[in-house]
């Protein structure tokens, strides 16, 4: 039995197979509509997350399965002091697979150690959010046709953004990847990513502050939100929250086939006028999130639709 | 020269950084052993200036010395049998340490679920970096010596 705790849990080959499956699901949804008949997904969300939870639920419903679960710690037995280990032992009796989000880092790993069913980390604090990374990879591969040979601009909060760190870790496994890291001085990429990941693996990268200067060279622009909860000082947040706003005029500097991605929710870092640009891929990205979660559920449940 | 009598069977832990012997006494749980233990603090050392030494008279398989590798892998472990040094054991950084150090990350699951073992994994041997198994918070050994050159073995003399 396998769990998913980090995007790097899958080898590149396994990841290719997962993305191939997601691709096939996108093209032939009817083929998969009853692959999980009679199976149940438990969504154990100890903190609210509308998007991720609904994406998991949509994925399981699309496969013909059912869902059960809770959407905040208040409505679970955690409020009575039950440990994650005890909760998952019980959930294992009710469901076939579990997606867990928890504010404490490592909680899904604790669950996986006691679980009788596969556990998917649906986000643990500022630590990992592997299905977002899988979503990003599927989106890039589907819309660009490849995960190699790309110049990827990562823009905004590169210091605290776990999606950015995970994406870098996942993409450096592909050939000829180059990063342009666009951030204000205060939100630059942490040194352990710069040195231990990028430099250590000889991945070319540049660090710049101006988005407009970086735009012409990018194949992908990955925008992130400056998250208020990461700042101790309100003044710093106010100063930095509008540091980058992607506008229609700025899009004119970009390649004709550049893609704009964003893990969502956006606040104001992408102007709504960009939404109608065919290069704006962030809402399609949410759709790919459902496909990749469907593929993940099938993979972890070891359901092979092609088996006789 | 301070004189401590020799031991028939057991260990002499030599070249301990001065001041570290009591931590080693606790981490090796020597207080739980019903056998003679001698702690020598601030012994003179040509190599180190000052050093601590711990002598334990016990069967050689009674102690799990793996944790010593985590505390300081430059400690010299002399295994004594019949009053003679029969082995100089090389210490390595253990791949995992359990319930020796605690995760300081307030967002880690171990901060609220106290019954969980505190487990740290060796993720970078060269730089001697351990990370919490659950949240991957980095732990760097504050007792790590600046030089990785092991001190000269000095037998089982003080």
Q: CATH code at B121?
A: 2.30.30.20
What confidence category does residue A85 fall into, taking pLDDT thresholds of 50, 70 and 90? very high
Yes or no, beta carbons of B133 and A105 under 8 Å apart: no
The pLDDT assigned to B143 comes to: 65
Strands across the sheet containing B76-81:
B37-45, B49-57, B10-17, B76-81, B84-89
Residue B49, classed as helix, strand or coil, is strand
Q: B50 lies in a domain?
A: yes
> Residues B39, B21: contact at Cβ < 8 Å?
yes
Q: Which of B124, B134, B138 sits opposite A110 (nearest CB)?
A: B134
The whole-angstrom distance between A227's CA and the closest CA on chain B is 17
**Range A229-248 burial, b when 16+ CB lie within 10 A, else e:** eebeeeeeeeebbebbebee
Whether the pLDDT of residue A79 is over 80: the answer is no
Alpha-carbon gap, residue A254 to A277, rounded angstroms: 12
Of these ranges, A59-63, A301-305, B98-102, the one predicted with the greatest mean pLDDT is A59-63
Q: CA A45, CA A200: separation in Å to the nearest integer?
A: 36
Instruction: Classify residue A246 by its DSSP letter.
Output: B
B49 CA to chain A: closest CA distance, Å?
36
How many angstroms separate the CA atoms of A118 and A111, rounded? 10
Query: Is residue B43 domain-shared with residue B102, that is, in the same domain?
Result: no
Sheet containing B138-140: order of strands: B96-98, B119-124, B129-132, B138-140
Q: Is A126 on the interface with B (CB under 8 A)?
A: yes
Residue for token pair 């334990």? B56
Pairing of strands A97-102, A40-45: parallel
| Residue B55 and residue B38 in one domain | yes
The number of domains in chain B is 2
For residue B108, the chain A residue with the least C-alpha distance is A105
- Give domain status of residue B145, yes or no: no
Mean pLDDT of A62-80: 85
By the CB < 8 Å criterion, does B109 face chain A?
yes
Query: Do A7-128+289-300 and A131-277 share a fold?
Result: yes
Domain boundaries, chain A: 7-128+289-300, 131-277
CB-CB: which of B115, B134, B138 is closest to A105? B134
Pair (B14, B85) in one structural domain:
yes
- Give me B139's structure tokens: 């732990």
Cβ–Cβ below 8 Å for B107 and A125: yes
Residue B145 has a pLDDT of: 62
Instruction: Tell me, rounded to whole angstroms, the distance of Cα A216 from its chain centroid.
Output: 26
Those residues whose C-beta lies under 8 Å from the C-beta of residue A203, and which sit 6 or more positions away, are A172, A177, A178, A179, A197
Are residue B74 and residue B121 in the same domain, yes or no?
Answer: no
**One domain for residues B100 and B72:** no
Give pLDDT tens digits for A26-48. Answer: 999 999 999 999 999 999 999 98
Task: Give me the pLDDT at residue B144, please.
Answer: 64
Inter-chain touch B111–A125, beta carbons under 8 Å: no
- Where residue B105 falls (left for φ over 0; alpha for ψ -120 to 50; beta otherwise) is beta
Tens of pLDDT, residues A227-270: 776 666 788 888 888 889 999 999 999 999 999 999 998 988 99
* Position B158 confidence tier, pLDDT thresholds 50, 70, 90: very low
Chain B residue with Cα closest to A196 = B124
DSSP for residue A228 = G
B116 touching A, CB under 8 A?
A: yes
SS3 A150: coil
Torsion angle of the four alpha carbons B79, B82, B86, B92, in this order, in degrees rounded to the nearest 10: -10
Examine the pLDDT at B157 and tell me if it is beyond 70. no
The range of the structural domain enclosing residue B134 comes to 96-140
CB neighbourhood size of B81 (10 A): 14
Tens digits of residue pLDDT in A100-150: 999 999 999 999 999 999 999 999 988 889 999 999 999 999 999 999 999
Looking at domain A131-277, which CATH architecture does it have?
3-Layer(aba) Sandwich (3.40)
Cα–Cα distance, A259 to A215 (Å, whole number):
11
Run of H or E residues at A45: strand A40-45
* Nearest Cβ partner for B107 among A104, A109, A110: A104
pLDDT value of residue A234: 81
pLDDT per residue as tens digits for the range A163-222: 899 999 999 999 999 999 999 998 999 888 898 899 989 999 999 999 999 999 999 999
CB pair distance less than 8 Å for A105 and B112 = no
Tokens of A143: 């819309």
Return the CATH class of domain A7-128+289-300. Answer: alpha beta
- The CATH number for B46's domain is 3.30.70.140
Residue B62 is assigned to a structural domain of this protein: yes
Are residue B21 and residue B80 in the same domain, yes or no? yes
Nearest to A127 among B115, B124, B136 (CB): B136
Q: Does A127 touch chain B (CB under 8 A)?
A: yes
pLDDT at site A195: 86
Q: Distance between CA atoms of A105 and A123, rounded to whole angstroms? A: 8
Instruction: Give the chain A residue whose CA is nearest to the CA of B132.
Output: A106
In a domain, B157, yes or no: no
- The nearest CA of chain B is from the CA of A135 a distance in Å of 22
In a shared domain, residues B85 and B100? no
Measured distance between the N- and C-terminal CA atoms of chain A, rounded to whole angstroms:
22
Q: Taking CB atoms and an 8 Å cutoff, what residues of chain B touch A192?
A: 138
> Are A105 and B116 inside 8 Å of each other by CB?
no
Looking at the structure, tell me whether residues B47 and B62 fall in a common domain.
Answer: yes
B116 interaction partners in chain A (CB closer than 8 Å) = 110
Q: Each residue of B54-72: pLDDT tens digit?
A: 999 988 777 777 888 888 8
Query: CA A72, A76, A77 angle in degrees (round to 5)?
Result: 145
Q: Residue A297: what pLDDT?
A: 98
Mean pLDDT (whole number) for B16-35: 90
On whether both B102 and B80 belong to a single domain, the answer is no
d(CA A4, CA A129): 10
- CA distance to partner chain B, nearest, from residue A49 (Å): 18
The SS3 of residue A234 is helix
* Closest of A174, A123, A169, A170 to residue A146, by C-alpha: A174
Q: Are residues B80 and B102 in the same domain?
A: no
pLDDT band at B29 (very low <50, low <70, confident <90, very high): confident
Give B-chain residues touching A111 at CB under 8 angstroms: none
Please indicate, yes or no, whether residues B14 and B61 belong to a single structural domain of this protein. yes
Check if B102 contacts A (Cβ < 8 Å). no
A64 has a chain B CB within 8 A of its CB: no
Averaged pLDDT, B118-144: 87
Q: Extract the tokens encoding A277.
A: 């640009």
What's the rounded Cα separation, in Å, for the pair A198 and A169? 9
Contact B113 A83 (CB under 8 A): yes
One domain, residues B72 and B55: yes
Q: What is the pLDDT of residue A239?
A: 82
Catalytic amino acids of A?
Answer: 51-52, 80, 101, 129
Per-residue pLDDT at A106: 96
B1 lies within 8 A of chain A by CB? no
Q: What pLDDT, on a 0 to 100 scale, did the predictor assign at position A62? A: 98
CA atoms of B87 and B77, how far apart (whole Å): 8
- The per-residue pLDDT of chain A, averaged, comes to 93
The pair of structure tokens assigned to B130 is 């351990």
How far apart, in Å, do the first and last CA atoms of chain B sit? 8
Confidence of residue B154 (pLDDT cuts 50, 70, 90): very low
Mean per-residue pLDDT, A1-18: 96
The answer to whether A103 contacts chain B (CB < 8 Å) is yes
């Amino acid at each position: 039995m396998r769990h998913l705790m980090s995007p790097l849990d899958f080898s590149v080959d396994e990841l290719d197979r997962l993305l191939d499956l997601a691709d096939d699901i996108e093209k032939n949804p009817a083929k998969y509509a009853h692959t999980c008949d009679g199976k149940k997904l438990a969504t154990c969300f100890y903190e609210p997350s509308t998007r991720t939870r609904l994406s998991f639920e949509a994925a399981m419903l699309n496969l013909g399965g059912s869902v059960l679960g809770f959407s905040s710690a208040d409505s679970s037995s955690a409020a009575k002091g039950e440990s994650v280990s005890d909760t998952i032992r019980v959930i294992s009796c009710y469901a076939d697979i579990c997606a867990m989000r928890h504010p404490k880092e490592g909680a899904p790993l604790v669950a996986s150690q006691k679980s009788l069913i596969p556990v998917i980390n649906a986000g643990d604090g500022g630590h990992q959010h592997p299905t977002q990374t899988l979503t990003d990879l599927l989106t890039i591969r589907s819309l660009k046709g490849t995960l190699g040979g790309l110049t990827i601009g990562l823009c905004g909060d590169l210091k605290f953004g776990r999606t950015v760190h995970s994406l870098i870790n996942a993409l450096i496994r592909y050939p000829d990847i180059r990063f342009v890291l666009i951030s204000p001085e205060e939100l630059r990429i942490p040194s352990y990513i710069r040195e231990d990941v990028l430099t250590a693996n000889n991945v070319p990268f540049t660090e710049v502050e101006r988005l407009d200067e970086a735009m012409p060279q990018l194949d992908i622009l990955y925008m992130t939100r400056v998250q208020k909860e990461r700042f101790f000082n309100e003044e710093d947040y106010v100063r930095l929250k509008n540091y980058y706003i992607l506008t229609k005029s700025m899009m004119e500097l970009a390649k004709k086939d550049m893609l704009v991605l964003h893990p969502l929710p956006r606040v104001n870092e992408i102007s709504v006028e960009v939404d109608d640009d065919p290069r704006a891929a962030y809402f399609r990205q949410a759709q790919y999130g459902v496909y990749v979660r469907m593929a993940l559920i099938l993979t972890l449940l070891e359901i092979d639709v092609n088996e006789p | 020269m301070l004189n401590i009598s020799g031991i028939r069977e057991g260990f002499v832990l030599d070249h301990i950084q001065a001041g570290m012997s009591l931590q080693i006494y606790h981490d090796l749980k020597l207080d739980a052993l019903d056998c003679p233990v001698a702690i020598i603090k601030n012994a003179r050392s040509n190599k180190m200036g000052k050093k601590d030494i711990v002598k334990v008279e016990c069967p050689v398989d009674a102690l799990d010395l793996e944790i010593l590798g985590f505390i300081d892998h430059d400690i010299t472990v002399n295994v004594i049998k019949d009053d003679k040094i029969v082995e100089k054991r090389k210490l390595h950084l253990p791949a995992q340490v359990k319930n020796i150090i605690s995760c300081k990350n307030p967002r880690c699951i171990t901060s609220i679920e106290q019954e969980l073992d505190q487990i740290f994994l060796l993720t970078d041997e060269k730089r001697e970096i351990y990370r919490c198994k659950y949240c991957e918070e980095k732990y760097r050994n504050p007792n790590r010596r600046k030089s990785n050159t092991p001190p000269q073995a000095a037998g089982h003399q003080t």
